[in-house]
């Protein structure tokens, strides 16, 4: 089933006014307002956020992507453990994934030591967590569809023997 065009617009730019959306989609403003209110009530729209360029804002926090292998639970699979992990305040995102691990968890902390402490003292000690692999984010190029402007190198790169 295709995504509703109204939801698609909101996911691209949540700051559109209901009037702007109505004009773009050729709808009346009240129907847009009612639909958005319904989605906020039923949990389709969970929230809104700004995408911040940490290099411009001075944010020095640390982000990490953590691969987590789990032992699935009888009768619940991965869900109960995944929700337990997702409830930690350090966890920004938690996804069930295919491949060599079961969960992909995104964690943020004020510094490297705090993220490492979270992984070693909280995440790794949960019954059912078999292993973790932590990858620290070094630089962002694109987040939530927003490309972080990067200067294009001019000309060809120098090649040396």
- pTM attached to this predicted model: 0.79
Q: Which helix (H) or strand (E) holds 147?
A: strand 146-147
Going by DSSP bridges, is the β-strand pair 91-96/129-136 parallel, antiparallel, or unpaired? Answer: unpaired
In sequence order, the β-bridge partners of residue 96 are 103
**Close Cβ partners of 72 (under 8 Å, ≥ 6 residues apart):** 78, 102
pLDDT digits 0-9 by tens, 66-85: 999 999 988 888 999 999 99
Domain with CATH 3.30.70.920 in the chain: 60-138
Q: How confident is the model at residue 154 (pLDDT cuts 50, 70, 90)?
A: low
**Is the model's pLDDT at 3 over the cut of 70?**
yes
CATH number listed for the domain at residues 60-138: 3.30.70.920
């Amino acid at each position: 089933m295709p995504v509703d065009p109204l939801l698609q617009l909101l996911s691209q730019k949540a700051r559109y006014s209901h009037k702007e959306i109505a004009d773009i989609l050729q709808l009346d403003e009240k129907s847009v307002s009612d639909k958005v209110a319904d989605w906020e009530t039923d949990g389709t729209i969970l929230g809104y956020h700004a995408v911040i360029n940490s290099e411009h804002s001075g944010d020095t926090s640390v982000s990490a992507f953590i691969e987590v292998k789990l032992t699935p639970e009888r009768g619940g699979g991965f869900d109960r453990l995944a929700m337990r992990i997702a409830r930690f305040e350090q966890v920004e995102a938690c996804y069930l994934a295919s491949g060599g691990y079961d969960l992909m968890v995104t964690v943020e902390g004020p510094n490297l030591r705090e993220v490492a402490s979270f992984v070693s003292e909280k995440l790794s000690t949960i019954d059912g967590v078999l292993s973790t692999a932590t990858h620290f984010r070094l630089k962002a190029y694109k987040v939530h569809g927003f490309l972080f402007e990067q200067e294009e190198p001019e000309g060809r790169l120098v090649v040396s023997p």
